[in-house]
Amino acid sequence: MRFFLGRAMRLAVIPFLSICSLVGTGFSLWLFAEEPVVVSESVAAGLDVAGRSTLGTLTIQPPRFHDSYRLIFDQGSASDLYNEREGVYLSPSIECTLSGFDYEDVSDFRVRFEFACSSGTATCATMAHARLADRSLESTPIGLSNDQIENGSIAFSLNPSFQWVSGSKPYSSSDWSSFIEEIQAENATENVHQLTVVVDNGI
């Protein structure tokens, strides 16, 4: 009996640990209506992040621990299958430096974002599924502390909010498979998308 229980426990625990190891190494468990599906979490679209400012020179720093900025697609938590505000996010946060500014202008420091296809076309696979959340499209005031201003420059990080385009989030494993094919086909063309950080005084 002891042997049987030990064997049964191993049979139950090993598959669970296998899924945990997948999740810990860049995989995500998508809970579709018909069945749980383990899929790669690294479905991503490359982003070319640029800066534009009327207050000085805005420099976008390259990611420290990544080859490029990326837009990551996943489901979110298990309860987020139908939540289109969860499951699209930028990685990593954008590191910026603003220099050559007038100190009076910085008192009304604002930021907003623009998202476009790098090819100049109106639509592309990534933008058919992801868009900037409304709060990232608006010009938002940014509070700065004195310790962020050093030697005539300001260093700050930004993480704009994205969400799924309405009706485009995969709700089944077949939807997910089609979605992956679209993004991978676009990635193969090296059609990197443009995310622009705009810093101004909101005028």
Domain positions in the chain: 43-200
Backbone angles phi, psi at 17, to 5 degrees: -65, -35
pLDDT in tens, the chain (203 residues): 443 334 443 334 333 333 333 333 344 555 565 555 555 555 788 888 999 998 889 999 999 888 889 999 887 666 777 888 888 999 999 999 988 877 766 667 889 999 988 665 556 888 889 999 988 888 888 766 665 666 678 888 999 999 999 999 888 778 888 888 888 888 777 667 889 999 988 65
Residue-level pLDDT at 163: 93
Q: With b meaning 16 or more CB within 10 Å and e meaning fewer, what string describes 52-65?
A: ebebbebebeebee
Alpha-carbon distance of 15 to 128, in angstroms, equals 36
Closest by Cα among 131, 60, 137 to 94: 60
Residue-level pLDDT at 17: 34
Amino acid (one-letter) located at 195: L
Segments in the chain forming alpha helices (H)? 2-24, 103-106, 134-137, 173-188
Residue-level pLDDT at 146: 60
